[in-house]
């Protein structure tokens, strides 16, 4: 590139010193400083990569990148670590292959399917209900962070493998996936242990092909899926990568959302009482009917506000394939784009008094007053999380079953500590005293 061309480009403001934007505690603390000093579009020189990094915190720019001109942006830095764990599933894949996989998987996440699978979600919550009842009878304390992780993992395994999960547990002498809720480092040791589970899942796939049992779960739908253009099914490697992706992404994000939702409920009695009143007005005891969930608007608002405060994916990236523009600024090909849901969710132009927990921000009327891309816990555009509706159903079922029965008293008096790595977690498990209502 000539010097004249470089001069002609209008680049965003930013610091002269290089800085590596990434899912680290250092970056988590540095990003608000950069936004405060330079505005909603910041150019940050990279210490390791040839191209600059752009930090984007403007809803219109985000909409341009994720929605209007999404074809010009591939997944960016940071996904190589995820790829080691998940393979080439729809979270990390790009281009024609990603479009093919998304088309094949999408039907499994429609409303009719989720309505049937909601019975599996309810069953997992019934099992947890029995455990919590025994603890509530004695006013025991629970680590809700741990309980949420275990529940979310069981839910995703149930909707993947349905009744074959019990057979798998019997064969393995327990839940071979349980370590995923106990070791959250996601280091190479965990990667290798997780990848070793492909043998167990491959054996189940082979058994289903041989026996052809009648099943209604995600695995059955993924195995039956065919490419509309070629008529081909997924290869075993493609199938396995999507299963691995769903297990990790499906349970971790839900666990984090449950953890934070309970935290806000326990610390806001008015929110708790309103959520409880809504549930009790819709149904009495047992398991809610799937159609009841559509009327649980306040539960949806509550969960949405928890996701605004603490989106599980707090930072993600894209890389520009070709030259582009954001407003008056040039985006050269190769530029790495970083978007933080955590910080756009706190933008004062769209979220007044952003640190206050207020589910009223998510009434239908309030949502019309701000750009859609000011709220992106599930990303946006064609690459919006495929499981967003499933996740909300999972939350609504859980709270509709648990809130009428149990009260949670938050016990930790020390300030919350965040762990802003690939996912935004609490550094320590959150403890509550559980009692019967």
What the chain holds in terms of domains, given with CATH numbers, is 39-436 (1.10.630.10)
Q: What residue has token string 């720019």? A: 61
Both structure tokens of 216:
């209604």
- Distance of alpha carbon 434 from the chain centroid: 27
* Residue 185 buriedness (CB in 10 A; 0-12 / 13-18 / 19+): exposed
Backbone Cα Rg of the chain:
22
C-alpha 406/C-alpha 385 separation (Å) is 31
- Give the pLDDT confidence score for residue 186 in this predicted structure: 59
391 neighbors 414 (Cβ within 8 angstroms) = no
Strand (E) or helix (H) holding 300: helix 297-309
Contacts 24+ apart (CB under 8 A), 185-191: 186/81, 186/85, 186/421, 186/422, 188/84, 190/85, 191/84, 191/85
Q: CA angle at residue 294 from 288 to 296, to 5 degrees? A: 70
pLDDT tens across the length of the chain (437 residues): 444 444 589 999 999 999 999 999 999 999 999 999 999 999 999 998 889 999 999 999 999 999 999 999 999 987 766 777 788 999 999 999 999 999 999 999 999 999 999 999 999 999 999 999 999 999 999 999 999 999 999 999 999 999 999 999 999 999 999 999 986 665 667 778 888 899 999 999 999 999 999 999 999 999 999 999 999 999 999 999 999 999 999 999 999 999 999 999 999 999 999 999 999 998 766 678 899 998 999 999 999 999 999 999 999 999 999 999 999 999 999 999 999 999 999 999 999 999 999 999 999 999 999 999 999 999 999 999 999 999 999 999 999 999 999 999 999 878 899 999 989 999 999 999 999 99
- Give the pLDDT confidence score for residue 374 in this predicted structure: 98
- Distance of alpha carbon 348 from the chain centroid: 24
Neighbours of 285 (CB within 10 A): 9
Q: What residue has token string 């498990």? A: 429
Q: What residue has token string 């939702």? A: 261
241 neighbors 88 (Cβ within 8 angstroms) = yes
Pairing of strands 53-56, 336-339: parallel
C-alpha 364/C-alpha 151 separation (Å) is 30
321 neighbors 384 (Cβ within 8 angstroms) = no
Q: How far is CA 236 from each of CA 32, 218, 402, rounded to the nearest angstrom? A: 44, 15, 39
C-alpha 109/C-alpha 117 separation (Å) is 10
Quickly list DSSP for 361-413: GGSHHHHTTS-GGG--BTB-GGGS-TTHHHHHHHHHHHHHHHTTTEEEEE---
Neighbours of 131 (CB within 10 A): 13
Q: How far is CA 249 from each of CA 189, 322, 384, 386, 407, rounded to the nearest angstrom? A: 18, 30, 13, 11, 29
- Give the pLDDT confidence score for residue 7 in this predicted structure: 53
Quickly list DSSP for 118-182: HHHHHHHHHHHHHHHHHHHHTT-EEEHHHHHHHHHHHHHHHHHHTTHHHHHHHHHTS-TTTHHHH
* Residue 75 buriedness (CB in 10 A; 0-12 / 13-18 / 19+): buried
pLDDT digits (tens, 9 = 90+) for 419-430: 999 899 999 999
Both structure tokens of 335:
């530029």
Q: What is the DSSP letter of 1?
A: -
């Amino acid at each position: 590139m000539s010097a004249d061309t470089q001069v002609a480009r209008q680049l965003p403001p930013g610091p002269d010193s290089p800085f590596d934007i990434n899912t680290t505690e250092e970056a988590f603390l540095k990003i608000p400083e950069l936004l405060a000093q330079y505005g909603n579009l910041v150019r940050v020189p990279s210490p390791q990569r040839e191209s600059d990094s752009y930090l984007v915190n403007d809803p219109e720019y985000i909409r341009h990148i994720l929605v209007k001109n999404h074809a010009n942006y591939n997944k960016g830095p940071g996904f190589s670590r995820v790829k080691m764990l998940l393979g080439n599933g729809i979270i990390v894949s790009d281009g024609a292959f990603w479009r093919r996989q998304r088309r094949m998987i999408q039907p499994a996440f429609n409303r009719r399917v989720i309505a049937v699978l909601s019975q599996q979600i309810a069953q997992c919550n019934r099992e947890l209900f029995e455990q919590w009842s025994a603890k509530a009878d004695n006013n025991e304390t629970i680590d809700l962070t741990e309980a949420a992780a275990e529940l979310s993992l069981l839910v995703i395994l149930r909707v993947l493998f349905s009744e074959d999960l019990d057979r798998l547990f019997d064969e393995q002498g327990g839940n071979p996936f349980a370590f995923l809720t106990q070791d959250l480092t996601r280091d190479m040791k965990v990667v290798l242990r997780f990848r070793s589970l492909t043998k167990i899942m491959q054996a189940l796939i082979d058994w289903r092909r041989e026996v052809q049992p009648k099943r209604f779960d995600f695995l059955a739908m993924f195995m039956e899926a065919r490419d509309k253009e070629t008529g081909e099914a997924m290869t075993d490697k493609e199938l396995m990568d999507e299963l691995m992706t769903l297990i990790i992404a499906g349970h971790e994000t839900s666990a984090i959302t449950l953890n934070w939702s309970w935290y806000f409920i326990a610390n806001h009695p008015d929110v708790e009482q309103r959520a409880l009143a809504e549930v009790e007005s819709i149904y009495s005891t047992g398991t809610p009917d799937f159609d009841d969930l559509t009327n649980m608007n306040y539960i949806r608002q509550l969960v949405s506000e928890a996701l605004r405060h603490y989106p599980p994916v707090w930072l993600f990236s894209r890389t520009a394939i070709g030259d582009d523009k954001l407003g008056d600024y040039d985006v050269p090909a190769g530029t790495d784009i970083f978007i933080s849901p955590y910080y756009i969710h706190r933008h004062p132009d769209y979220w007044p008094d952003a640190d206050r927990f207020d589910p009223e921000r998510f009434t239908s009327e309030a949502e019309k007053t701000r750009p859609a891309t000011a709220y992106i816990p599930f990303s946006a555009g064609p690459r919006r999380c495929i499981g967003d509706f499933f996740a909300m159903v999972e939350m609504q079922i859980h709270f509709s079953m648990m809130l009428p029965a149990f009260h949670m008293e938050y016990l930790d008096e020390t300030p919350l500590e965040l762990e802003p790595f690939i996912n935004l977690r609490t550094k320590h498990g959150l403890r509550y005293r559980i009692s019967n209502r």
